[in-house]
Amino acid sequence: MTIDTQAPQRDRQVTTGDTLVSFSGTAGAGVNHTAADPFEPLSVGAMVDRVAAMAVEKAAHPWAFFMRSVVGGAMVAFGVLLALVVSTGVKTPGVASLLMGLAFGMSFVLILTSGMSLITADMAAGLLAVLKRTMSLGGYASLVVVGLVGNIAGAFVFVTICGAAGGPYLGAFAERAATVGAAKAGQPLSTALLLAVVCTWFLQTGMCMFFTARSDVARMAFAFYGPFAFVIGGTQHVIANVGFLGLPLLLNLFHPAAPRAGISRGFGHDGLLTNIGVTTVGNLIGGTVFVALPFWIIAQLQRGQIQTFPD
């Protein structure tokens, strides 16, 4: 996915993956700012058009999208592993959370700058495409299912390799992984659901801001903010939790002396599958109802307001 860094022009084109999508200069104009300023963010309308076009392009190439989701899931698991490494042995909760957020934050930067896929971003992007009537509800459902399966597969493969490796991931690290995983798995279902909503409210706001920015530094900062915020906030992310809950389970599977702190694999209260189901629903609500829908409404209101002005 290549993102055009130039100021929006009338009849401009944006490259998203394999597809060139043309945008009129008035399509998402909002207010006519100085077009030559490389630091002026794009309007909300232009951002909505970009994000929706990204979702349409992914849906048009399902096998490529699946592979991008597999790689994206592994990148999230990279962040999980590093977050646990840097927080192992840290006794102060706030400091441990800060270190985890700093280590985890680059995972979303990797995903967005490389053009890979994260299901929680695709949930929001796909809804914008549905609202713009460039994607059907069936296409949206397919996008969500393919992206979710691909992300889970990628994250699971990575944590399986780490679990089998053992070595530095045993001892104090394994105890830290079990503690974090048990804390996430042991929350009441209503708490996990609401924390999943908060998670994607953070994360997809950062994603949308990424697509309003023109400079590389601003894009990376916005991409970093989302995962940094949801990790230090103690929230629940479906793909991150495949790592946070799956890693202690797999360490215990390959190395029985490693603790798993009561985390189970199935649909029990502390089960990995239960957590995946609950956090998927919460992440969907957070990214669509609290991010995609408000931005779409703002874009529509801005466009309607501009149309009322005389030429």
274 falls in which pLDDT band (50, 70, 90)?
very high
Q: Is the model's pLDDT at 26 over the cut of 60?
A: no
CA distance 63 to 40: 36
Better-scored residue on pLDDT, 180 or 39:
180
- Minimum mean pLDDT among 13-27, 123-137, 270-284: which range? 13-27
Range 18-23, long-range pairs (CB < 8 A, 24+ positions): 18/57, 18/61, 18/64, 19/53, 19/56, 19/57, 19/60, 21/49, 21/53, 21/56, 21/57, 23/49, 23/50
Which of 34-38, 114-118, 121-125, 189-193 shows the lowest per-residue confidence on average (mean pLDDT)?
34-38
Listed by start position, the domains of the chain span 12-301
What is the pTM (predicted TM-score) of this model? 0.85
**Which of 2-6, 37-41, 178-182 is least confident?**
2-6
Looking at the predicted structure, is the pLDDT value of residue 216 above 50?
yes
pLDDT at 211 over 90: yes
Buried-exposed string 263-288: b where 16+ CB fall within 10 A, e elsewhere: bbeeeeebbbebbbebbbebbbbbbb
| Average pLDDT over the chain, rounded to an integer | 88
User: Which homologous superfamily does the CATH classification assign to the domain defined by 12-301?
Assistant: Glycerol uptake facilitator protein. (1.20.1080.10)
Q: What pLDDT does 219 receive?
A: 93
